[in-house]
Amino acid sequence: MTTGKPQLVTKRKGETLRLVPKSDLVASSVESYRASMLKAVEAPGQAVVLDLSAIEQLDSLGITLVLGLFKTCQKAGAAFSVEGVKGDIVRVFKLFNLTKFFPVTEA
């Protein structure tokens, strides 16, 4: 369960922006994450990496958030990928066939 405002760590290395949510992407946290992630990708650079290594759960609203980030990056001409994905969450990405839209790398 999420308490307080979810923490998003952003790291820029060259032209790559890395977004690292520190709690699960579930209904209780998605709205807070949405605002901070969209603000972070206003000037995305050439690539955006969503690092999910710190999360254990991803629900349908979390998937919607990931897809929204992908579409925002696509409109800006920035590459988008997801890294650090754990077993059950990898299966969710594959089940929804999201791996055909952007790279998903397991932890």
Per-residue pLDDT reduced to its tens digit, 22-33: 999 999 999 999
- Going through the chain in order, the beta strands assigned E by DSSP cover 8-13, 16-21, 47-51, 79-85, 104-106
The per-residue pLDDT of the chain, averaged, comes to 91
Query: Can you give the pLDDT at residue 2?
Result: 41
Cα(21)–Cα(3) distance, integer angstroms: 14
Share of the chain above pLDDT 90, in %: 84
Nearest CA-CA partner of 106 in 92, 89, 91, 85: 85
Beta carbons within 8 Å of 45's beta carbon, 6+ residues apart:
12, 14, 15, 16, 17, 78
Query: Can you give the pLDDT at residue 4?
Result: 59
pTM of the model: 0.91
Per-residue pLDDT reduced to its tens digit, 42-51: 877 799 999 9
Question: What's the fold here for domain 8-106?
Answer: Transcription Regulator spoIIAA (3.30.750)
* Residue spans per domain, the chain: 8-106
- Please determine, for residue 62, whether its predicted confidence score (pLDDT) is greater than 90: yes
Over residues 77-97, the mean pLDDT reads 94
Over residues 62-71, the mean pLDDT reads 95
